[in-house]
Structure 1
Amino acid sequence: MGSMTIAGQSFTVNQEAACGSSIAPTSQNFSSSGGTGSVSVTAGAGCTWMATSNAGFITITSGSSGSGNGTVGYSVAANTGAARMGSMTIAGQSFTVNQEAACSFSIAPITENFSTGGGTSGVGVTAGTGCSWTAISNAPWISIPNTTSGSGNGVVDYTVAPNSGAPRTGTITIAGLTFVVSQEGIEVCSYSINPTQAGFTGNSGTGSIVVTAASGCGWAASSSQSWITITSGTSGNGNGIVNYSVEENRLQILRQGTIIIAQNVVTVTQEACYFTFPFERSQDFAAQRVTSSLTVYSMDGCTWTAVSNHPWITINSGSSNRGTGTVAYEVAENTGPARTGTMTIAGQTFTVNQVAPGPCPYELRPQSESFAAANMTPFALNTEVDIKAPLGCEWTAVSNAPWINILRGQASGN
């Protein structure tokens, strides 16, 4: 406060103190997983301030600006690399963030072999300071008597029990890593499978194989072909069952594959699915609504389907069949230009051509025929005229001469 004397009078001047501010704390340490924190700001009334992050892994979540006392909230992202340091500037003051490196682990050795008598040994663990880990035995004959957890570098001691049976393998999970223990056995493992051969029709199917082995004797099952799938029993110990499935055979040739179980081979033979189509792969239709049918011949057990690929062609029956079957379908009336659609029947494409509305097109083959004047046989001479017309287009044949007889003169389509 100060004053001036003006014309014998006193004039008083009052001035606020300069704005000052402080923060607490001024730094914070974080683990590699990151986290959140806050910083308190102390400032005079009416004194404004701002908070900004100077590092990409530090985010200000609240209190980016204020007036007087306040709090700045922030978060620190997880660290997947080396140790790092960043800062924030709050009310003109520097706040430091220190973050540890991401935890990484290694073990040595990664495997060890034991005789039937068993024994004890240890596994070294290498880890960063503050990086915690655990050790868990995954086999009842491997025990960890002392160190089951730790932080930073350490050693896991373990004991392997004597083995009076077949060779065996077990594991210990240490810091998320797998340590393998192999132990010799007294009994030699032998395996048998039943059956050793399996036969299937061309249709899909399933089968099973019985595995006989001594307790403790491990085995695995694998397929040599993609059309044979192991559905259960891909591995086991002692006796067990392997279940498998066989896809439908559409190759139209017999095929063979194998399933291998503990070096034993099961031969799988599958017949082909044959489909016979005693009809043309396309058909012409008149413009009006027409129904028709097709018969597909196949072996018993071979499945097939019929699907329309266009909305104006409808499958009325026979959309799903096993063995020989008939597909009944309908072609809707056409009120527009000529059109073409398809059906997929037993994996084959059947084309439907439908003419535009109007007179039906007809074609005669041949259009004329010549005969000798003298018939040297005691029988009348017969011949045929082929009529090509869309299905649904009806026609008749009439003789215009008394010495020409029509034997069959009415039909629809060809």
Structure 2
Amino acid sequence: MKTKTLVASLAVIFVIVSFAAKAHAGATLTVNWVGPGNNCDSVLTLEEAALLGEGTMSRALSTGEKNQISGATFVPALPGPCGASLWLATAGVGINSADDIVFASGMTVPINASISLGQNDDIDGTTGTSKIILDGTGLGSGYCGIYMSTFSGSQIRNMEIRNFPACGIHAFATSGAIFEGLDIHNNGTYGIDLGYQSGSPTTNSRNTRIGGDQPQHRNRIYANGASGIRIESSPVGDRFPDQGIDILNNLIGTSDGVTDNGNGGPGITLINTIGVVIGDTGGTTKNVISGNNSDGISIIGAGAVSNRIIWNNIGTNESGGGALGNSLSGVAFSQGAGDSADFINSTINRVGLPGFGNVISSNGGYGIYISDTNTSNNVIQSNLIGTNPGGNSDLGNALAGIYFGNGTYDNQAGGTGTGEGNLIAFNALGIKADAGIRNAFRRNRMFSNDGMGIDLAPAGVTPNDAGDGDSGPNNLQNFPVITYVNAQASSVSLSGTLNSTPNQAFTLEFFGNDGVDSTGYGEGRYFLGATTVNTNAAGNATFTGLNFTVARSNVSSWVTATATDVNGNTSEFSLAKNACGNMLFSPTDILAPLGGGPGNFTVIYSSGCSSYSAQSNVAWINVTSVLGGTVNYTVAANPSPPRDGLINITYNNGTGTAVQSFLISQNNGCTYPLSHSTASYPASGTPNDGMSVGTGAGCQWTAASNAAWITVSSGTNYTGPASVTWAVSANTGLARQGTLTIAGQTFTVNQAAPSTKTPFDFDGDKKTDISIFRPGPGEWWYLKSSNGGNYATQFGTSTDRLVASDLTGDGKADIAFWRPSTGMWFVLRSEDSTFYSFPFGSNGDIPTPADFDGDGKADAAVFRPATATWYISKSTGGTTIQQFGLTGDQPVAADYDGDSKADIAVWRASLGQWWWIKSSNGSSGGLQFGNPTDKAVVGDYTGDGKADFALWRPSTGFWFILRSEDFSFYSFPFGSTGDTPSPGDYDGDGKFDAAVFRPSTATWYASRSTAGTLIQQFGIAGDQPVPSAFVR
């Protein structure tokens, strides 16, 4: 770059100002004499040069005078009186072109118009150790000191620009401009005003530096009427890439870094700017943005994105240790600032970075202010807000450290990375949010603020609400509840709860504190750690034994926590929990032996807390020593009934004296043996039953019923050996179970349900009907026990298997068969004689319908002998597949445990064994009963609501019944060889009757338990008795 220079050949007593010209040859003007004089000689005086510049020279220059000018032609530069003392000369390309030369006759240049620079004109106002002064005193309204051409890259250095009615420097769409070494003060509006060129295309100012990283680069911009620096960019055009404007190492609002010479508006105003950096990315110099009569920095508009504010003192003096506050907030985001960040071409606005935080203190409003609709995507990290650079001196902002107002969202104060948290101390409040959502506050260090660390409006602590359904700032996110703190030398263990939105994840952050505020809800001075919890359907989550590796000093005296949901809504701080507030014992309590003896327990208590003492509250416990965290004691032998005693631990819980008790229990020699622990009763119940309790004299015990249908009739309280009696009411519902508590032991009472299902009852009168199936024509015949009438229907073929049972649940057996060749079931409804069919099972299976799910309907079921597998199609829904038994077993499903549900069971004839699975509890069992040639004829022969294992022996005609009540058996003869056993309840008394069908005569014989023997001829030779369908 070539420079045109005004040079004095004698002693220099006037200012030399040079312009850089990128495109033109240099021109040199030599002034031989700096004083007055207009003489025709070979000396070019300053007065003669001035007259030439004004165009008022009354004569031609002499040859000697002309020889002082090389390559330049003087033109009038500024209109005005001839006494003006500022001129321009140009190298022949016109006024205000890139090679303009400005020179002046003195150190102070009174000016009655503005200086307009051509593109890329450079001004250096250095005059030895001084600077040229452009003074606009008396100039008409509206003028700025220097106007730069649009798209100009001019460099303006080392000047004092003051007292202009409007701004100091005004420029549109600068490109590569530099402003350094300037004193810009007492101008009517802005110190430096950078705008954008509208039109097509729109062009923003770019690649411009204000200040620099060397001492001589510093600008002093103060006492101007509006903003010290104002930069406005187009909100719609020329939005990519970042503008590359750097503002660093300036004093803005103060002339010397100490004195308050505030600008009338914000120190710096950014409007819709992209990527302006305020601060030194190298970390060697700082802007001091202090003393301004508004905000320190104001960032305005949805187009304001990707801006960075780093490593500045905002509201303090140059050292950062003294107050020099801006009248309002240190940094303010408003009118949607950050909203247009698309995270592709533009990103968030940042205030501070790890290692490059700002000191934002002593301001008259908030440290940082974020408000207005759609103000978003602004991140505040690593700053000292309300304190000095050391973080230990009170330079608090008058209001909150950070403020969030109406319409804000997706902003963040702090972060989860190393050093991203802010230190917020000595302010009126730490963080205040009057409105806004999804504004996250993460891992900030907050302490010594006058009020709460975090306050979500309304003012004061906002209590948690169940389920967290309320609304407000950050949706008034509920905070955690800390229930336990144990702090040791290098770790802390925490437990607690969170109630919030159901089925959501939340990040909990924990902090140590030296103290708490007046609300007791604390702040967060030392970050301890974080964890994630998930709430259940009721909105509850717990954290237990949560451990963080952290120094004991960081836990300090109190622990608080915040909760942040997945959308970034952070809560207020929790109620503070004192680190010395919890004491646990291991074990939690002790049952001492009857004979007494020594014992001990461990006291789990935070380190660094005051010592504690241990005292027994009873004579039979003696505390022998307290060593470290162990309490040692002895217990005397117990000659008396059971007893409890306490060892009381007295300690300081951080707020005062507290007592926590360790329980020691001791049994005595009293025992209470029961002769049995269970009893079963029929549906009819019993008026009186009981048992004796053998115990020592003086031993006290009680008996009580836990079920309304069981009544203890002998009283409640007993001493020594005694008998207890009870009554069981009749049962009209399902089988049931209840308990008695006798001498502290559980006695189980089972009662059967009344018999509600009678097998092969086709007319619904609770009696088994005599019935046959005639294979040839596939006919069913039955004799109605209700009125003696006959019924016949054709349904099935000779190869079908009979499965008559109540499959529809109307209390009557349905005529039904299973076809082995297809596995199809065919059911003729008893309600209306319509039929339905469905597939279930395969050829080779054994159909075994029964009510397996207890809903009053028989379920289709088959037993597959090849694999000993049961397949049950439950009428309540679903299919059960259960492997039980061995190949060759016969299925004998029935209700063996009285719970109104059929149990899976098999008869293993080859070994004379029975095996079953109880549906009531899933337990299995087996027993030996019978011979290989016996026929299984299962049924409830005793009427207790449970099926009895029963056999009929063809060789002798004997019946063998194994009672379900006590597994005793009885036998009797009924029938002859060649008969077909066909048991059922033929008299409707709730008990199975032994019965046989004699094929040779088609005669039925039934030994009815209450109505005597029945002999009935019904059927013909070759008929199959239906009640024998499930005899195995």
TM-score above 0.5: no
Which structure carries more strand by proportion?
1
TM-score, normalized by length of structure 2? 0.15
State the structure with bigger RCO (CA 8 A, min sep 6), 1 or 2.
1
